[in-house]
Amino acid sequence: MASLDYFVATFTRDTRIEAVEPRLIAVLSGGKRTELYGYKGYTKDKLTYAINDYAARALIAGTSSAAHEAAKQVFALAPQGLSIARIDVQETVVVADPDRTIVFTFPKKKYKATRISAVNSEGETLYVGSPSSRARLRIYNKTAESGIVADNGKYLRVEIQLRDNYADEAYKKWIEGKTDEVLAFWVKKMIVDKDADSLLDLCRLLSVDELQIEEKDTEWAQRRKIWYEKTVIPAMAKLFLVEPEYREIAARLLTGTNHDDKIELQ
């Protein structure tokens, strides 16, 4: 079953929200100061609560297993001025060879697409849609990225990243318990028909519970460094040879936007 993997929502910080804010912040007690989309606050266990510079709007965000919790908090608050900035919906399946599945999956020609291949190792990734678009599909070798191997194969992840009004619509589907429909819609829209049908068949038949592959062990950071050095860096170097102008975009994505002093949540 498809699940949320990333969730960011902003909303009006009115007197009702301020009244429950101590409870929201208490959940993050002992967490780290953070900044996201220009909002400043606290994060703990991949869950974030923050407010903007004018203290007029608040933000709740969750990554991986915390994405569902973040969405539940927003639903419970039912805040005014709600805007879903981003939702990622993913399905993780077990296959014998994720790279082979990805290599033989083709996007529809009307979409800008990029393939990234590892050099001398596994780690295939297919992006459909530009980085700045409201909808971007990513299909990648989750085992190569995380270092986690399934008992009966390797992990392949199919993930749609949605922003702005597309994210708002996906949130409504999540409320209705129809998250599967979100992923299926975009796979069919962005991938050629026969390949889309094959991917969705894999999702129906071989899907795994996200909690089973949650990356909690202490070796996660080291595995991610190895993946970055052996897969991402060589792939980016190859991409820059083909599209030199992408260097500037990559630099902005890596560095983000710098802001000055952080504010206290009150």
Asked if 143 and 249 sit in the same domain, the reply is yes
What average pLDDT does this structure show over 105-127?
Answer: 92
Asked if 45 and 73 sit in the same domain, the reply is yes
What average pLDDT does this structure show over 183-206?
Answer: 94
Domain boundary residue among 36, 55, 81? 81
Question: Residue 152 — pLDDT band, cuts 50, 70, 90?
Answer: confident
Asked if 134 and 22 sit in the same domain, the reply is no
What average pLDDT does this structure show over 79-95?
Answer: 96
What average pLDDT does this structure show over 147-164?
Answer: 90
What average pLDDT does this structure show over 161-170?
Answer: 96
Confirm whether 123 is domain-assigned.
yes
Asked if 113 and 219 sit in the same domain, the reply is yes
Asked if 23 and 118 sit in the same domain, the reply is no
Confirm whether 48 is domain-assigned.
yes
Asked if 62 and 163 sit in the same domain, the reply is no
Confirm whether 207 is domain-assigned.
yes
Asked if 217 and 186 sit in the same domain, the reply is yes
Domain boundary residue among 81, 111, 135? 81
Asked if 76 and 95 sit in the same domain, the reply is no
Confirm whether 3 is domain-assigned.
yes
Bigger pLDDT: 212 or 58?
A: 58
Confirm whether 106 is domain-assigned.
yes
pLDDT at residue 262 in the model: 39
Statement: residue 204 has pLDDT above 60: yes
Q: Give the integer Cα–Cα distance in Å for 16 and 187.
A: 39
Statement: residue 217 has pLDDT above 60: no
Question: Residue 228 — pLDDT band, cuts 50, 70, 90?
Answer: low
pLDDT at residue 253 in the model: 66
Statement: residue 225 has pLDDT above 80: no
pLDDT at residue 70 in the model: 96
What is the chain's mean pLDDT, rounded?
86
Task: Report the number of distinct structural domains present in the chain.
Answer: 2
Asked if 203 and 121 sit in the same domain, the reply is yes
Confirm whether 120 is domain-assigned.
yes
Quick one: what percent of the chain has pLDDT higher than 90? Answer: 63
Asked if 106 and 202 sit in the same domain, the reply is yes
Least confident among 87-101, 141-155, 215-229, 246-260: 215-229
Find all residues with CB under 8 Å of 168, minimum gap 6, and list them: 83, 84
Entry field: residues in the chain = 266
pLDDT at residue 67 in the model: 96
Domain boundary residue among 34, 55, 81? 81
Question: Residue 265 — pLDDT band, cuts 50, 70, 90?
Answer: very low
Asked if 61 and 167 sit in the same domain, the reply is no
Statement: residue 261 has pLDDT above 80: no
Confirm whether 262 is domain-assigned.
no
What average pLDDT does this structure show over 44-56?
Answer: 94
Whole-prediction pTM = 0.78
Statement: residue 86 has pLDDT above 70: yes
Bigger pLDDT: 257 or 74?
A: 74
Q: Which residues span the domain enclosing 3?
A: 1-81
Asked if 129 and 216 sit in the same domain, the reply is yes
Most confidently predicted of 114-128, 183-197, 244-258: 183-197
Return the sign of the alpha-carbon dihedral for residues 217, 218, 223, 224: positive
